[in-house]
Amino acid sequence: MTDFRYLVVGGGMVADAAARGIRELDTEGSIGILSEEPDRPYARPALSKKLWTDPDFSWDEKVDLHTEETGATFLLGTAVTAIDRQAKTVTTADGQTHGYERLLLATGGRPRGLPGLEPSERVLDYRSATDYRRLRELADAGAHVAVVGGGYIGTEIASGVVQNGARVTLVDPDEIVGGRMFPEDLAKAFQQRFVDHGVQLRLGRRVERGTEHEGGVTLTLDDGSTVEADAVVVGLGIEPATQLAADAGLT
């Protein structure tokens, strides 16, 4: 069993900020950061923004938050499955146990998926650096990518991918791209930028189900029509990841 004075569950930007804040108050106490992801904390907004638009935007210099500067120990690629508040321990999916004096849950949220589709190499519930790397491979290969959802993530991904040479179809229940975000005139101008860059729009439509098969994904829309794509990116927002806390009796 590994013991830490401070243990953080979750490896996102909150974990980085927490480790830095701890160090301002305690220069010696051991810090552990447990994360499902294989990467140390990084600037997540870059995954749908500058990494697609600026070839000089370096991962090491601009995206990696360098939390190692705090002296934190990283336990990556494993999920916490249970918390024992009396024993002050957490258990991970690989069977390890880690003790703590103080525990911070920084588990963030999980992306909403599509009915009938589980995340895979061709179905990306876009949220992680792993998702970015896979989508970059697809874009560089000129794949046809269907993006579901016309909010910030969906529109950013659609614009980033089409600028990098891939074909893009954007499926959105709104009648105008950006209709929920902008006044009508601005939304129409926003939509026109996508049209001008070759994005195919399927507006006023929802995905009823999806099917992954060898070589691609089929989306069936609520009017019975289909979209055939090499891959699908889902941008439908997130749900708070609260199950771990609830199972530990926290409200």
How is residue 100 written in tokens? 């703590």
pLDDT, one tens digit per residue, over 107-144 is 999 999 998 899 999 999 999 999 999 999 999 999 99
pLDDT, one tens digit per residue, over 45-72 is 999 999 999 989 999 989 999 999 999 9
Domain boundaries, the chain: 2-109+240-247, 113-235
Mean pLDDT of the chain: 95
Helix (H, G, I), strand (E, B) or coil at 198: coil
Please name the CATH architecture into which domain 113-235 falls.
3-Layer(bba) Sandwich (3.50)
**Which H helix or E strand runs over 53?**
helix 50-53
Say which residues have a Cβ less than 8 Å from residue 14's Cβ, sequence separation at least 6.
106, 108
Q: Please name the fold of domain 2-109+240-247.
A: FAD/NAD(P)-binding domain (3.50.50)
pLDDT, one tens digit per residue, over 196-216 is 999 999 999 999 999 999 889
Query: Is the fold of 2-109+240-247 the same as that of 113-235?
Result: yes
Please tell me the pTM assigned to this model.
0.91
